[in-house]
Amino acid sequence: MIEINVIKALKAAEGNMILHLDVHIHTQSFAILFGESGAGKTSTLRMVAGLMQADEGSIVVNDEIWFDKNKKINLSPQERKIGYVFQDYALFPNMTVEKNLTFALKKNQDSKIIDHLLSLAGLERLKKESIHHLSGGQKQRLALARALVPQPKILLLDEPLSALDHQNRSKWQAYLKDIQEEQKLGILMVSHDVNEIFSLANKVIHLNKGQVKALGSPAEVLLQKENGFIPSLKGKLLAKKVEGDKVICTILILHKVFKTETSLLKAQALKVGDEVDFQLKD
């Protein structure tokens, strides 16, 4: 269990803000932090990583105290055994692509994982190149690959796929889901992409101005109008069923199935099998 109970004073675009989190997440969850810019998502990752210290509270992972203000415990990032992909990638500019990965190897770790990750990232032919020769998407893939080298138990990702094209984004989404399940890896990720959230997450933390507005599954958080967010989703219409003056639509979003409702008028234009763009506010 990842237990985050912290308070941190932050400076936001609209002025001072208090970030207050009290959430418990299963260690093997794929949890996504969601919310507007400045809500405290990146600060949350940094506190879990040990790169920022909370003003009050504690962070406990599998009964190991990573941070406790009252007990004066604050483990270093190295002691926390996490992988972290930063928004700015934080790659070593004086190293080649391959050396950026080998630098992250643990002592006595099998180096075969380097070739595997280079292949996955599509960077095999660039492994001897300086990172200055990489595009933004290539740098992002390299940063994600490097975070996976030491095979961490918890992976912290700050919008890791935002610079990738659709093909590479889908590829890495599938890989992240596979590795999370195979290695029983816990992932805490920042994302603004609603379809990505529905595809990957089993837990969503909706932050609003430093406060937890909602916590639950993607459907529980993003499909509830009372949470103040009306998402637009792209998917395939699998079925529609009339119930009174509304129509219940079953849609496939990537590899997950969800149900929502729309009006009779709008449903008339929809056919089973259509690729649809749903604005969930009916």
Q: How confident is the model at residue 138 (pLDDT cuts 50, 70, 90)?
A: confident
Instruction: Decide whether 2-227 matches 232-279 in CATH topology.
Output: no
Helix (H, G, I), strand (E, B) or coil at 5: strand
Where do the H-state alpha helices sit in the chain? 41-49, 77-80, 97-102, 112-121, 136-148, 166-182, 194-200, 218-222, 264-267
Closest CA relative to residue 235, chosen from 215, 222, 250, 223: 250
Spatial distance between the Cα atoms of 197 and 258, rounded to a whole number of angstroms: 13
DSSP-assigned letters across all residues of 133-161 = GS-HHHHHHHHHHHHHTT--SEEEEESTT
Distance CA 3, CA 35 (A): 20
Neighbours of 281 (CB within 10 A): 10
**Confidence (pLDDT) at 282:** 37
Residue 159 Rama label (left phi>0; alpha psi -120 to 50; beta): left
CA separation for the pair 66, 280 (Å, rounded) = 40
- pLDDT tens digits, residue range 104-133? 888 888 888 899 889 888 899 999 999 888
The pLDDT assigned to 240 comes to 76
Q: Output the pTM of the full model.
A: 0.75
pLDDT score of 233: 64
Mean pLDDT of 169-175: 79
CATH architecture for residues 232-279: Beta Barrel (2.40)
Rounded to an integer, what distance in angstroms lies between the CA atom of residue 141 and that of residue 172? Answer: 9
pLDDT in the model for residue 127: 92
Residue scoring higher pLDDT (25 or 224): 25
Looking at every residue in the chain, the average pLDDT score rounds to 84
Q: What is the pLDDT of residue 190?
A: 93
Q: Is the pLDDT of residue 182 over 80?
A: no
- Would strands 186-190 and 154-158 be described as parallel, antiparallel, or unpaired? parallel
Q: Which residues contact 178 (CB under 8 A, 6 or more apart)?
A: none
Residue 280 pLDDT > 50, yes or no? no
Name the residue ranges covered by the structural domains of the chain: 2-227, 232-279
What percent of the chain is modeled with pLDDT above 70? 90
Question: Residue 45 half-sphere exposure, CB side, CA atoms within 13 Å?
Answer: 25
Question: Exposed/middle/buried for 243, CB within 10 Å: 0-12, 13-18, 19+?
Answer: exposed
Q: Virtual CA dihedral for 176, 180, 183, 187, nearest 10 degrees? A: 110
Supply the CATH classification number for the domain 2-227. 3.40.50.300
Half-sphere exposure of 177 (CA within 13 A, CB side): 16
Indicate whether 226 pLDDT > 60: no
Per-residue model confidence as pLDDT tens digits over 230-254: 556 667 778 878 887 788 877 776 5
Exposure string over 168-193, b if 16+ CB within 10 A, otherwise e = bbebbbebbbebbeeeebbbbbbbeb
Across 22-41, average pLDDT = 90
pLDDT score of 24: 93
